[in-house]
Amino acid sequence: MEEILGLDSPPIAVKIVKTGETLPSVKSLPQKSRYCQLLMLARKGQTLMLTAEDLACPAAKAALGLAPLPEKISTGEMLCTLGLFVSKEAAARTMKMIPRLNLGSTKAVVSGPLKNFPVTPDIIVVESIPEHVMWLCLARNFKEGGRLNFSSSIFQCCCVDVTVVPYLTGDINISPGCYGCREATDTPPEHMFMGIPAKLLSEVVESLEALSKKAMKTVREKRVYKLYTGSKEEKTG
């Protein structure tokens, strides 16, 4: 995937450690951190674990099933204060619709680079430019065809859009990012995100390889664009 697309950073593996499962032998973060910061460190090559005690973001903690959602967030008060919605009612409606894992179902989350991840992942997260995400979406659709549907409230990108949603639906999901991850990490303005259930990874990569042999080469060579701009130059020359 890295080689075909030309990714600048590795695909990120995520393991949701369920209640009752044994915690893997992975270091915890040295300080309280947000889930999006865990993914940022994974993108930089680190494999680390976050428990409820270490997770600093209450919205992510609730999304991952580690703690109840605080009232200030569920009522829309905090999001309205941040300027994300025109009213508490709009914010509250959004929070009510956000998918979450069952409260108490999760013990911890582990994340790191996919290529040397020490446990079997549940989700693969790719953070990159839209062109890369486009090819991954087409790879998902390559064999079955049809149309893809994506879900986002443009809030809780990393924890909900590209982790919880693909985990619950069993299908890919993309996100343009959100207030939280863009404020709390070094994600470049031009990046977006994609979550891929681990069970679909081999199919997506196989289809990506097929796309790279013809369609991807043609698009990246921009033949039609070069012909178009060349003909315009001839006319004006």
Contact 64, 34 (CB under 8 A): no
State the total domains in the chain: 1
What pLDDT does 230 receive? Answer: 86
Distance CA 28, CA 113 (A): 16
Domain boundaries, position 161: 2-236
What pLDDT does 172 receive? Answer: 98
The helix/strand/coil state of 2 is helix
Q: Read off the pTM.
A: 0.94
Which residues does 88 contact at the CB level (< 8 Å), separation at least 6? 75, 76, 77, 80
Within 13 Å, how many C-alpha atoms sit on residue 180's CB side? 25
Longest dimension (CA), the chain: 73
Strand (E) or helix (H) holding 194: strand 192-197
Contact 42, 130 (CB under 8 A): no
What pLDDT does 214 receive? Answer: 96
Distance CA 43, CA 215 (A): 28
Contact 212, 176 (CB under 8 A): no
What pLDDT does 137 receive? Answer: 98
- pLDDT value at 36 more than 90: yes
pLDDT in tens, 44-75: 999 999 999 999 999 999 999 999 999 999 99
The helix/strand/coil state of 215 is helix
DSSP 8-state code for residue 154: S
Contact 69, 62 (CB under 8 A): yes
Averaged pLDDT for residues 165-183 = 97
